[in-house]
Structure 1
Amino acid sequence: MQVKLIKESKEEIQLELDNLTIAELLRNALWEDKATTLAVWHREHPTKNPILVLKTNGKNARKVLLATIEKLQKTSSKLMDEFKKAIK
């Protein structure tokens, strides 16, 4: 997976992702953080990569994004453990 930083300030970060599923997963998860004021993705054209946009209410956008990714990793690990238990 490739990620390209498009724009960053304290309260905003924009990333180009090469995976629409990851963009949508992050968009949904970012809304769980109360500091999030905007979490969307868009594409200029269906053949282009999605751009994830995160804006916050003053909290550091990079920290919000990284915390969300860590939360998703933990959720994914728990899900994998549950599947492994279920199919044994």
Structure 2
Amino acid sequence: MKVEVIKNEKDLVEIRLEGERHSFPNLLKNKLLEDKSVDYVSYILDHPSDDSARLIVRTSGKSPKKAIEEAAKDIDAELDDFAAKLKKALK
């Protein structure tokens, strides 16, 4: 996945996630919605044949960059926990 910053303002970030359609942007969006400092989050698919999504995050009280970083770390931790539990269950 390639990440390109389209807009980087105090309370708004827009990034393009190349090589992603719904799976990761939707996961990230749902995790960001758990953060009370996130006022708005959405992702957009510009064209049906395009293989990228644009993620838009607006925050108050925390930078959108920090909110995205924290959400990504939380997702990473959840996936590590899942992998460990799956490995144990499949023994």
TM bucket normalised to smaller: over 0.9
Q: Which residue of 1 aligns with 2:77?
A: 74
Counterparts in 2 of 1:1-88, with a 5 A limit? 1-17=1-17, 18-20=19-21, 21-48=23-50, 49-88=52-91
Shift >3 Å, 4+ stretches: none
- RMSD (Å) for aligned C-alpha atoms: 0.9
TM-score (norm 2): 0.91
Q: Any gaps of 5 or more consecutive residues in structure 2? A: none
Identity %, equivalent residues: 27
Query: Counterpart amino acid of 2:86?
Result: F
CA distance in 1, matches of 2:60, 2:73: 21
Q: Any gaps of 5 or more consecutive residues in structure 1? A: none
TM-score (norm 1): 0.94
Cα shift readout 1:30-80 (whole Å, capped 9, x = no counterpart): 001000111100122112211000000231110111011001100000000
